[in-house]
Amino acid sequence: MSPDAALMRIYTEEASRDGGKPLYESIVLKARAAHLAGATVLRGPMGYGASTRLHTATILDLSANLPMVIEIVDDEAKLRDFAAELAGLKDIGLITLEKVQVLHGQRGE
């Protein structure tokens, strides 16, 4: 991966599914199969999307449908191709792409 790379963020919800598994898990496994440099799933304690329905984590509702963000870093062209592969998946919210500079990173971590 070159120092000039891209960061893709995929926004979804914890309860979103792809068949029998969580959507975020399916996306990370697809990214790994596509040999993308790396992916991380982040669980948000609060957020809302296009519906403006608020999702929060409270002590009274530990099974909340919380926001999930999948971050994937690699070359921009590879990420654009990967986004096209995800087009058939339901319940993906927003997908963003921004240019980043990789200051440190190794393959095989």
pLDDT in tens, 53-108: 777 777 566 566 889 999 999 999 999 999 999 988 988 989 999 999 999 876 65
Q: pLDDT tens digit string along 11-60?
A: 999 999 999 999 999 999 999 999 999 999 999 888 887 778 777 777 56
What's the pLDDT at 106?
67
pLDDT for 44: 87
Domains of the chain: 4-101 (3.30.70.120)
Q: Please tell me the predicted confidence (pLDDT) of residue 81.
A: 97
**β strands within the chain, DSSP E:** 4-13, 17-18, 21-22, 38-43, 46-47, 55-56, 67-74, 95-101
Query: 39 forms bridges with which residues in the sheet?
Result: 72
